Amino acid sequence: MKIAYIDCFSGISGDMFLGALIDAGVSSAIFEETVAALNVGARLSVSRTDRSGIAATKVDVLVNEEVDRPRVEHEHYVPHRHGHTHEHAHEQVIGHTHHITETVVAEQVHIHEHGEEHHHHRGLKEIREIILHSSISSTAKQTAIRMFEVLGAAEAKIHNIDVEKVHFHEVGAVDAIVDIVCAAVGAETLGMDEFVCSPLNVGSGTVKCAHGEFPVPAPATAELLKDAPVFSSGLRAELVTPTGAAIVKVLATRFQPLPGMKIEKIGYGAGSRDFPGHANVTRILVGTSGTGAQSDPAELVGLEAQRETITILEANVDDMNPQLFGYLLDRALDSGALDVFGTPVQMKKSRPGMLITMLCKPEDAQRLTKLVFFETTTLGVRMREEKRAVLLRRSITVQTQWGELRMKIASLNGTTANYAPEYEDCRRIAETNNIPLKTVMQEAVRIYLEQEKKNG
């Protein structure tokens, strides 16, 4: 199995990750073509540099033919109701280049950096459209959008607003779009079966935000790194940016020390500063896993299957009222379980029992374990992590004689593998019009297939 190990002994940022990818063998031309296709007024500058004696690749984003000035990613612009000029107190960037993000609440915010010049802001909806209309692969599009979504969700939670109200300042948005989209394209180009990430050195000290100083890691970074192992080497600098944290959160299937592997390539991506006695680089080790390593199920279905790690929860019960089982299933699904089911089993003393199996995201395992204890009579819950391959999914709308309903489409390597009408939509139409459910579902499939035939 092909593994890329992201070694974050000096943290990670978007530009450091891109530099490490290029150094590990991804052609810089691929990134240059990707940036040109985005049509956001930017291009890349790639150079070789030195960080504390280590030769590394440095990637700079040029916006409107100027290297973007250092920015503090957490220095938010606060909405004002009086339209006067915002004061900017940019501190010297100690660690990596950051992106300015802004939360816009209720009113239009005008940011004046120089005189009365107005700057445009991009929300997640606009950024999704830019990515979806680019010429990169569908897999890279989904990966890039997911990175922006987790980044936006972190900011939204911190500021207690809807994620769609999180906006990125024009320059910061361009830089972030370039970093994230190129990260998704580069990760796909590298052709790995799995990305594994080391514990992350977040640095120390404080960062200046619009609402005051915060200790490192800053709020958005800390939110993104929940459940990931972090540490500080004592270096007084912010070493992990939210963009870097979003990249590893989406790409990495696990966080651990260097796994058993045969190293074939090594790449170093340089940060913006050169610290004396400390190599400010992100390192990528590319190779193959050792004999006996767990195989990735995505190998069986192709690289365009989404790979993820899930937690399996299991419990045996032989003394529970059957009515409670149906209630547990409903509660579990409402609480975020990916799937839950029961299997009849023969237990000790010849008692008929039920094996309860629940699939969930690793971050939901503790909460759902508590639910099993509360809602069943079991005295123990087993848990384990497994890998799975998931087909890329999307939803389209079809128009029937009774109204619109959604069709779920699953694809593999760009080809439709499965399709099915959304059950709840079909049920709603059947109940409203007093017609058989099967009739609605059959009609939805017929219309969908006709549309596909017309579209060639």
Q: What pLDDT, on the 0 to 100 scale, is given for residue 413?
A: 65
Per-residue pLDDT of 275-284, as tens digits, reads 999 999 999 9
What ranges do the domains of the chain cover?
2-295, 306-390, 392-454
Which position has the higher pLDDT, 83 or 378? 378
Task: Report the C-alpha gap between 444 and 400 in whole angstroms.
Answer: 7
Residues 6 or more apart from 374 whose CB is under 8 A from it? none
**pLDDT reading at 109 higher than 70:** no
Token pair of 311 as six digits: 């937690």
Nearest of 92, 23, 11 to residue 279 by alpha carbon: 11
- State pLDDT tens for residues 377-403: 999 999 998 888 888 778 888 999 999
Architecture in CATH for domain 306-390: 2-Layer Sandwich (3.30)
Whole-model pTM: value is 0.58
Q: Which pLDDT value is given to residue 145?
A: 93
Q: What angle (nearest 5°) sits at the alpha carbon of residue 152, between those of residues 146 and 154?
A: 105
The CA dihedral of 159, 163, 164, 165, to the nearest 10 degrees, is: 0
Q: What residues does 383 pair with on adjacent strands?
A: 313
Q: Could you tell me the pLDDT band of residue 213, with boundaries at 50, 70 and 90? A: confident
Token pair for 236: 């007084």
pLDDT bracket for residue 165 (50, 70, 90): confident
% the chain with pLDDT above 90: 55
What φ, ψ does residue 344 adopt, rounded to 5°?
-65, 135
**SS3 readout for the chain:** CEEEEEECECEECHHHHHHHHHHCCCCHHHHHHHHHHHCCCEEEEEEEEEECCEEEEEEEEEECCEECCCCCCCCCCCCCCCCCCCCCCCCCCCCCCCCCEEECCCCCCCCCCCCCCCCCEEEHHHHHHHHHCCCCCHHHHHHHHHHHHHHHHHHHHHHCCCHHHEEEEHHHHHHHHHHHHHHHHHHHHHCCCEEEECCEECECCEEEECCEEEECCCHHHHHHCCCCCEECCCCCCECECHHHHHHHHHHEEEECCCCCEEEEEEEEEECCCCECCECCEEEEEEEEECCCCCCCHHHHCCCCCEEEEEEEEEEEECCCCHHHHHHHHHHHHHCCCCEEEEEEEECHHHCEEEEEEEEECHHHHHHHHHHHHHHCCCCCCEEEEEEEEECEEEEEEEEECCEEEEEEEEEECCEEEEEEECHHHHHHHHHHHCCCHHHHHHHHHHHHHHHHHHCC
The four Cα atoms 390, 392, 397, 398 give a dihedral, to 10 degrees, of: -80
Q: What is the CATH number of domain 392-454?
A: 3.10.20.300
pLDDT tens per residue across span 181-212: 999 999 999 999 899 999 999 999 998 876 67
Q: Find, among 306, 282, 307, the residue nearest to 295 by Cα.
A: 307
